[in-house]
Structure formats: C-alpha cells, structure tokens
Amino acid sequence: MARVERTIALWVAYDGTEFHGWQNQLDLRTVQYVMEDALRRVVRHPVNLMGSGRTDAGVHAAGHVSSFVTTCELDAERLRHSIGSRLPKDLSLIALRDVHPHFHATRSAISKLYRYRIHNTQGRPVEHFTQRYTYHFWIPLDVEGMRAGGRHFLGEQDFAAMASKGGHRETTVRKVLRCDIERHLDEIRIDVEGTGFLYKQVRTMVGTLLNVGRGLWEPDRVSDILKSTDRANAGPTAPARGLCLQWVRYPPELLSPEVNTRSDVDQMSNAE
C-alpha cells in the first residue's frame, strides 16, 4: 500500500552569524542545507524544503517558516524531537505541525515582520552581550524624525530605490503595512511589516532612516527618494547583524491539515 503524502510546516529560530543566509549555496553553510540534511536523516527520503523567505548572510530569525512534503508516518511530536535533536546549537526547531496540502511556506504567506536593532550609545553593545544582534551606531539619533521619515514607506508603492541588485523579481512594487520605531533605553528598534520584500529592502530602509535620524536629511526626503526609484539616492545598506525575521503570518485555514467546508475549498481555489 502506497504511503500517504502529508505537508509539514516548521518554525525555526537561528543565529545567522555563522550561516551564509537561508538558501542553499554550493559549498557554503546555509540554514536550508543544514535543515534538509537533518530532515533526510529522519524521514529517509529526499526533501525539498520551501522557505518563507531568503534571509541574507548574517541575518537572524526568531520565527522563520518552511514546509515540505513527506510520506513519513512519525507523528508531529516525534518528528519535532527527532529533527530538533539533529540540529546545531545556532539553529532551533520551535514548532512542527501537519498543515493543509495547499500550504506553501513562500506563496501562502500573508505578511512578515522584520525587526532591526540599533545600539545607539557610545558604549559598545558587547557590554550587554548583544554585539552579534545589534548595529552599534554611536551618533545620537532623532527617533521622532525617523518616525516621520518612516511614514513615507507605508502603503503599496515602488521600492526600487530601496532594493539592491540581485534576486529574482518581476516587479519592485511592494506593500509595507507598518513601520514602527521605538527606543528602549540604549536600543532603537525598527519594526517593518509587509506583504513581501525586495533584496536588502529593509536594511536599505534602515540606512535611509539613519541619515534622517542623524540630521543629514529631512524626513520628507524619504518620499523624494522613493519617487526617484534610484537606489543611488537612498542611504547605505545597514549591516546584516541587526536584522531579524520575527514572524510570518498565514491564513488560519491553511494551518490545519483538513478542509472543513466546501466554501473553504472554493476560497482557496479562488486564491490560487
């Protein structure tokens, strides 16, 4: 009797310092490679792991999501334990569950949130043991000015000026749902939620806001930069170590392995 296929979703956290990003690259240590190696040893068949996004080298994740299809009959809890025990210390399997066959970690995502952390004081972040996860920017920053500049990122618009070359893209139009900037003692946190992002978009947004925060640019200049669609007009790309993928949001009905009603089937068919 042929084994039944099931779709599994995984939530992982990782310290990106020693990884060359998420996606497989020849002869380089990536999150996808390490995950697929552990998965193959557990399910005992080739695995094609789909990721919710491609984090760059040095970027961290608190809630990255991936999915794969398997015929393995181990229940979710035993799978989680077996896979998690085979992962290195800088990669942790937070959760694993059976999901709907239509679930796809990349295409099914509704939105995702990235957080950028800036250590904004003269003392180095090593004093707080956060040097791997924050960008040390010792020049005082005007948070209110950065908030005013960040409001220009909201909505659906062309973000070509905020994207570096590289990566496949059919369009440079993206939708940013929020850009929240808060100070917590010596640390400034920039939370950017969107339906999708271009290559190094968030880090360039941060670099642009840093120029506003240090008084080099007025907040309204952000709007002019976006309208120019020219990357040369934006700020520098902020270092990878300050960026972390916090979470990815999905339609609740896809997080269950079964469809409950006919209308659910129709809605998902229309969405496809």
Which residues participate in catalysis according to the annotation? 56
Give the distance from CA 62 to its chain's centroid: 9
Q: Which two tokens stand for residue 208?
A: 């642009």
In the chain, the amino acid numbered 42 is V
3-state secondary structure the chain: CCCCCEEEEEEEEECHHHCCCCCCCCCCCCHHHHHHHHHHHHHCCCCCCEECCCCCCCCEEEEEEEEEEECCCCCHHHHHHHHHCCCCCCEEEEEEEEECCCCCCCCCCCEEEEEEEEECCCCCHHHHCCCCCCEECCCCCCHHHHHHHHHHHCEEEECHHHCCCCCCCCCCEEEEEEEEEEEECCEEEEEEEECCCCCCHHHHHHHHHHHHHCCCCCCCHHHHHHHHCCHHHCCCCCCHHHEEEEEEECCHHHHCCCCCCHHHHHHHHHHC
Q: How many CA atoms lie within 13 A of 110 on its CB side?
A: 9
